[in-house]
Structure 1
Amino acid sequence: MKQEIGSTPQHGLRCQPMNIAFTDSWLNSMQGLRLVIPTGCTVAGTAGGDGPEISRSILISAPFVAIIPVGAQLAAVADNNPAGWVIALKPGVLGQVSQLAFDVVPRWSRFWNPFLREAAGTLTTLHHADLIDAACADAFADVVSVHVALRYGHCAGAAVPDMPLTRQMLTRIEAFVHEHIAETILVGQLAVLVHMSASNFARAFKTATGTPPHLYVTLERVKFARTMLCQQTPPLVDVGARAGFRTQQHFTEVFHRYTGVTPRAYRLAHRTVGS
């Protein structure tokens, strides 16, 4: 007999559809962190405190995700049927390594992560087809926990030999770019984040990543646009604007340069594959 998600206190509750997670008292009582992944048009709001005098609140909507403390309050904004997933992250999934890694995973962070968006899409497809049970849900939660530990926490403060930028610095830069993807982003702004001059930062960033910072920002804009074209149906001009391109023509030219197709063709191809 198939074991449904959330059927026992031991299994399946770490990976919950958003409408269930909002009212699941057991998930809310867990210690650690939660990953919030809204899908469709759902906007999730979360609020809580980091101390007796420090309060935090953020709004999350696709294609962004967020990491919040488990104790934070979470609710949909003007949505009676919220869509998405809330995943309780398990620090011990990689043993002592991930225990230490999770200590530096940024709380109250909102960012864009294509892997996590794909995971949410797969979860939704399995859920709608009634093909996901408690064991499968726990497996997804474990994989996501490993990804978060390695991507945002593992050895984040360590510098790679001959590279003056630590992984923590690179994560800080990535988070800033994703948070401000719709805006003009200057190399000097990124350099300030790691307390370097623009010229020294540009050299250090290329050494660490193999890509100049201005090209990195452009490629992130293209990736962001691809995610929107795959997951949502806003007008193309809105996709370009939200990805930070100055005009629709500029969006089309840059997107075609790095993908080989226009945004319209990319969307139509994705719809054809999805159907």
Structure 2
Amino acid sequence: MKKAIGSTPDHGLRCQPMNMAFTDGRLNPMPELRLVIPTGSIVAQATDGNEAGMCHSILICAPFVAVIPVGAQLATVADNDPNGWVIALKPGVLGRFSQVAFDAVPKWSRFWDPFLREAADTLAALHHADLIDAACADAFADVVSVHIALRYGHCAGAAEPDMPLTRQMLTRIQAFVHEHIAETILVEQLAVLVHMSASNFARVFKTATGNPPHLYVTLERVKFARTMLCQQTPPLVEVGARAGFQTQQHFTEVFHRYTGVTPRAFRLAHRNAGG
């Protein structure tokens, strides 16, 4: 990484490349949460112990991200070079509505969030081009903080007008799909999460999202595969398997159907664009 992002008297340093966040103690006393966004093949481990003797530990690798308490210690697994971003989530810079939601954001959470991965990619591109400064970093931190608060915080349980499924239910379904993306996912499994019959769930889910459950799962598999193709360099057959496709042929057909290109062509285009 080229250089650290400077701090300001009002906000302080709230967004850092991961390798600097491992050694820069100035980040630790300020925020209440930190968002860890590893890139490439980095595997980070966050650990923390409390006064009761209980210890929390979580492993984070792309394409997943994690929310951890400010006091947690970060380290790499197998001495990997720590590439990625650590964003301090400071609720004091948010609006009143988001501050209320932020109080309920769960600590020690790991999830796959395409928006946050896109934000990390944009941050990396700006940093490598030497275009990022404290104001830009703070702006990103604010946007990410609001996103986390609204998506995973207290107000995520608010029901949309005339919607049978609440945001909290939809988030629960999304979390289950992301956690089990490599496995077979049945409509019946999703229906159980929100205490509905499979037929009723399929109907209200399509009303709420515009897509039937099986198409939603398929599109999430494609998104996950796209993220892997951009972030890492495993064999294509491994990408397909980790995204939940049963065969390489099925992976290629479905990926081409919804993106317009094959997985191999998508990877080559992304490499060329990055080079």
* TM-score, normalising length: structure 1: 0.91
Deviation sequence 1:135-178 (CA, Å, 0-9, x none): 22212211211222233236211112322211111111111111
The reply to whether residue 231 of structure 1 matches residue 231 of structure 2 is yes
Q: Over residues 7-42 of structure 1, what are the superposed CA-to-partner deviations in whole Å (9 max), with x where a residue is unaligned?
A: 566555210111111222232223421110001111
Secondary structure at the counterpart of residue 120 of structure 2: helix
Aligned pair 1:187/2:187, yes or no?
yes
Q: Paired residue for 1:94?
A: 94
Counterpart contact for 1:42–1:79, Cα < 8 Å: no
Change (3 A) 1:199 1:98: same
Where do residues 65-84 of structure 1 align in structure 2 (5 Å cutoff)? 65-84=65-84
- The CA distance in 1 between the partners of 2:197 and 2:72, in whole Å, is 37
The equivalent of 1:261 in structure 2 is 261
Structure 2 Cα separation of the partners of residues 176 and 54 of structure 1: 26
Structure 2: gaps of 5 or more residues: none
Shift of 1:6: 4.1
Query: C-alpha distance in 1, partners of 2:138/2:52?
Result: 34
Q: What residue ranges of structure 1 are gaps of 5+ in the alignment?
A: none
Quickly say closer, same or farther: Cα 1:155–1:7, change in 2 above 3 A: closer
Q: CA deviation at 1:193?
A: 1.8
Compute the displacement of 1:250 (Å).
0.9
C-alpha separation between the residues in 1 aligned to 2:203 and 2:191?
11
| Structure 1 residue 238 displacement after superposition | 0.9
Q: Equivalent residue of 2:46, what SS? A: strand
In structure 2, distance between residues paired with 1:261 and 1:168 = 34
More moved, 81-90 vs 92-101: 92-101
Structure 1 ranges of 4+ moved more than 6 A: none
- Give 1:105 shift: 2.2
The alignment status of 1:132 with 2:132, answered yes or no, reads: yes
Q: Point out the more displaced range, 242-251 or 200-209.
A: 200-209
1:88 to partner: Cα distance? 0.8
- AA aligned to 1:138 is D
**Hey, what does 1:37 align to over in structure 2?**
37
Is 150-159 or 58-67 further displaced after alignment?
A: 150-159
Residues 4 and 16, structure 2, Cα contact 8 Å, conserved in 1: no
What SS class does the counterpart of residue 47 from structure 2 fall into? strand
Greater shift after overlay, 105-114 or 33-42? 105-114
Q: 1:223 to 1:51 in 2, by over 3 A?
A: farther
Q: Which amino acid aligns with 2:163?
A: M
Contact 1:12 1:135 in 2 (8 A): no
Q: Distance in 1 between matches of 2:162 and 2:50?
A: 36
Write the distance in 1 (CA, Å) between the matches of 2:179 and 2:50: 21
How many pairs align? 273
3-state SS of 2:240 partner: helix
In the other structure, the counterpart of 1:111 is 111
Contact 1:63 1:228 survives alignment (8 Å): yes
> Quick check: 239-248 or 25-34, which moved more?
25-34
* AA at the equivalent of 1:103: D
Contact 1:4 1:134 in 2 (8 A): no
Instruction: Report if the CA contact (8 A) 1:11-1:134 is conserved.
Output: no
Q: Structure 1, residues 41-67: CA drift from partner, whole Å, max 9, x if none?
A: 110111235783654321110111111
Are the structure 2 counterparts of residues 54 and 199 from structure 1 closer, same or farther at C-alpha, using a change threshold of 3 Å? farther
User: 1:271 aligns to what?
Assistant: 271
Name the CA distance, whole Å, in 2 between partners of 1:108 and 1:228. Answer: 23
Contact 2:4 2:17 in 1 (8 A): no
Question: 2:21 maps to which residue?
Answer: 21
CA distance, structure 2, for counterparts of residue 49 and residue 207 of structure 1? 44
TM-score by length of 2: 0.91
Contact 1:65 1:111 (8 Å CA) reproduced: yes
1:250 aligns with 2:258: no
Instruction: Say if 1:81 and 1:187 are closer, same or farther in 2 by CA, change over 3 A.
Output: same
Label 1:154 to 1:58 Cα distance change in 2 as closer, same or farther (>3 A).
same
